[in-house]
Chain A
């Protein structure tokens, strides 16, 4: 395809990168701002990182958000995998349409509705059988699993749909029981989908403001709730400092995952070469 001029490709690349990264870069740059105003540059300083370490409120909220996001992502991935498996593999069964509709409903439902209905459900449950007692970390986590479950289900289901069914059949022909087939054949093949589902669930939970606002209770302000309530009186640059640290951690995580995946892929290719030369 030599007909395409390189400058076009180059400028689309530059535009794409600029579109994606300039906001993050400006956030990082302003975390080193001396001025208290987020939009006025007042010289270089790292004072906000020091201030951040003293600000228990923000650190507690960040830690809480990370814990909720981790538990949520794990829970949503487990349940979502089963839901995806059932929808993709069990053929037609009674209630399939219902299950499919219910798992994907939170995808299209406005957060406000999800949040409010969960709040009313938690209150009704507490009155009926005393659990969950009050609202807090547990209820936020349950609410987030409800929301992110649907994303994981869709990812797993579509991955399974494109998966070659003959691999599983071959394993069963060789005498493996269904549970064994799932653990040794299906799961490793769909592992990348599980990882991306987990990460997506993690991100959505970390990001959610609306649902968490409804189902939170005393002592369970998540980071988005805290930041949002501060916006009115002006966000202070220690939020930028926190965001910079989080961006750093996330980039590090992505790089490590990328490296591990790359290594695995190389190992796999080598194994395949070995296998074919042995045959």
Chain B
């Protein structure tokens, strides 16, 4: 999940910039390894003396009974708090002593935080269910966290195109629905202008998408490639109605937009809202055949967590096939847990918007963080695109 709500971003972003400057620059905290587990005796599981676990997760990102079942099975009291912005989490992590034992940042943020040394190394001997995870997803996480030392995947999501099926047919009957050219090719974009195109206000996401469309490396940091991206974006700029990361949910659901580059969870939500409202609007989501980028939300244990063993126990519990499946069934996100697949609802498992087929899945790339110099160039490019000058 990627934070998009405007207010919270502005709340956290300022503070977060402060802190990143304050902390990343100066002190590199010593990385603390979790003390080795007590030898497992029979059925006993390793828990901390204090039967408490403090979890910090995205809001509405877990099945209703997941926490309750854990509490009754292990007799551990869970304090479950929710957030909706990566920046706020980063602020709390970098400030230290957050009090949480499990946190769920998105992968790009996790990478930076791992480098700052705020997370504990996982004790894999306590994570006996780790074999249930999809090796491909683990490998993607390892691009941010080498050897998966600190983080395991929780859920993953994709960028793609959400569209109003009937309107696209009406305005651009010849347009391909399975290609980025639907939005990025001026030929089709110009036809869809009348019914509305929206693009995520996320510079690095869109730059990777355009690079994929142009057949380049999505994580390329060369200024020449960025120039090509800008040229392409400027060609379609006149046809874009909105550059926004949250309004498009409502607009798609109400029929005010034809096409939006967005996140799969958001588009599915727009689809469900339209269904519930019964307004006859038919929303679909497609990951274009050229490929796209994938965002993984990962579970980590802060280095100063007071209940690291309980945290491992909960992580291990979440990787149980039935538990993982129940969570995905509830929240409509893919979980990266291969063993959970038999327990998924058909409607979730067979929804290409949640679980793309193998061919498309192979074309999904994680987006890596970029160097500061490149980031400056990217921001300038993005500003020119936003203002259309």
Interface residues of B in 65-119 (CB under 8 A from A): 79-84, 88, 91-92, 95-100
Alpha-carbon gap, A134 to B96, bound state (A) = 10
B276–A219 CB distance below 8 A: no
A232–B15 CB distance below 8 A: no
A120–B95 CB distance below 8 A: yes
B96–A123 CB distance below 8 A: yes
Known pairs A123-B95, A213-B11; A231 contacts B5 (CB<8 A): yes
Interface residues of A in 105-133 (CB under 8 A from B): 111-112, 115-116, 119-120, 123, 126-127
Known pairs A37-B273, A230-B59; A213 contacts B88 (CB<8 A): yes
Known pairs A214-B91, A221-B82, A228-B8; A233 contacts B99 (CB<8 A): no
Interface residues of A in 180-201 (CB under 8 A from B): none
Interface residues of A in 206-245 (CB under 8 A from B): 209-210, 213-214, 216-221, 226, 228-234
A219–B81 CB distance below 8 A: yes
B59–A233 CB distance below 8 A: yes
Interface residues of B in 1-48 (CB under 8 A from A): 4-5, 7-8, 11-12, 14-15, 18-19
A219–B79 CB distance below 8 A: yes
Is B231 part of the contact surface with A, judged by Cβ < 8 Å? no
Distance in angstroms from B106 CB to nearest chain A CB is 14
Distance in angstroms from A210 CB to nearest chain B CB is 5
Residues of A within 8 A of B12 (CB): 213
Closest chain B residue to A116 by CB distance?
A: B15
Alpha-carbon gap, A153 to B259, bound state (A) = 54
Alpha-carbon gap, A230 to B83, bound state (A) = 9
Is B335 part of the contact surface with A, judged by Cβ < 8 Å? no
Residues of B within 8 A of A57 (CB): 80
Residues of B within 8 A of A219 (CB): 54, 79, 81
Residues of B within 8 A of A220 (CB): 81
Interface residues of B in 160-189 (CB under 8 A from A): none
What total count of A-B pairs have CB within 8 Å? 81
Alpha-carbon gap, A233 to B19, bound state (A) = 28
Closest chain B residue to A115 by CB distance?
A: B15
Alpha-carbon gap, A230 to B96, bound state (A) = 26
A116–B54 CB distance below 8 A: no
Known pairs A232-B59, A233-B60; A217 contacts B98 (CB<8 A): yes
Distance in angstroms from A212 CB to nearest chain B CB is 11
Is A144 part of the contact surface with B, judged by Cβ < 8 Å? no
Distance in angstroms from B59 CB to nearest chain A CB is 4
A232–B99 CB distance below 8 A: no
A37–B277 CB distance below 8 A: yes
Residues of A within 8 A of B221 (CB): none
B11–A112 CB distance below 8 A: yes
Q: How many residues does chain A have at the interface if contact means C-beta atoms less than 8 Å apart?
A: 35
A112–B15 CB distance below 8 A: yes
Alpha-carbon gap, A218 to B50, bound state (A) = 15
Is B381 part of the contact surface with A, judged by Cβ < 8 Å? no
Alpha-carbon gap, A216 to B100, bound state (A) = 11
Is B269 part of the contact surface with A, judged by Cβ < 8 Å? yes
Residues of B within 8 A of A221 (CB): 81-82
Alpha-carbon gap, A135 to B98, bound state (A) = 7
Contact check: which of B91, B246, B273 meets A116 at CB < 8 Å?
B91
Residues of A within 8 A of B84 (CB): 228-229, 231-232
B82–A135 CB distance below 8 A: no
A35–B98 CB distance below 8 A: no
Alpha-carbon gap, A219 to B11, bound state (A) = 21
Is A159 part of the contact surface with B, judged by Cβ < 8 Å? no
Known pairs A112-B11, A123-B97, A233-B59; A226 contacts B82 (CB<8 A): yes
A210–B11 CB distance below 8 A: yes
Alpha-carbon gap, A226 to B57, bound state (A) = 12
A134–B269 CB distance below 8 A: no
Is A36 part of the contact surface with B, judged by Cβ < 8 Å? yes
Residues of A within 8 A of B98 (CB): 135, 217-218
Residues of A within 8 A of B273 (CB): 37, 234
Known pairs A136-B99, A213-B11; A218 contacts B59 (CB<8 A): no
A112–B82 CB distance below 8 A: no
Residues of A within 8 A of B95 (CB): 119-120, 123
Closest chain A residue to B88 by CB distance?
A: A213
Distance in angstroms from A124 CB to nearest chain B CB is 10
Contact check: which of B18, B83, B96, B100 meets A218 at CB < 8 Å?
B100
Closest chain A residue to B77 by CB distance?
A: A219
Alpha-carbon gap, A55 to B88, bound state (A) = 25
20 pairs of residues in contact across A and B, judged by CB atoms under 8 Å: A35-B276, A111-B11, A112-B11, A112-B14, A119-B92, A119-B95, A126-B97, A210-B11, A213-B11, A216-B81, A217-B54, A218-B81, A218-B98, A221-B81, A229-B82, A229-B84, A231-B5, A232-B5, A232-B246, A234-B273
Q: Which residues of B does A touch, CB under 8 Å?
A: 4-5, 7-8, 11-12, 14-15, 18-19, 54, 56, 59-60, 79-84, 88, 91-92, 95-100, 246, 269, 273, 276-277
Complex A-B, nearest 10 residue pairs according to Cβ-Cβ distance, in ascending order: A218-B54, A219-B79, A229-B59, A217-B99, A134-B99, A116-B15, A229-B84, A218-B79, A218-B99, A229-B82
A123-B95, A216-B81, A229-B84 are known; give 16 further A-B pairs, CB within 8 A: A112-B14, A112-B15, A123-B96, A123-B97, A134-B97, A136-B99, A210-B11, A213-B12, A217-B100, A218-B81, A221-B82, A228-B8, A231-B84, A232-B59, A233-B60, A234-B273
Q: Which residues of A does B touch, CB under 8 Å?
A: 35-37, 40, 57, 111-112, 115-116, 119-120, 123, 126-127, 134-136, 209-210, 213-214, 216-221, 226, 228-234
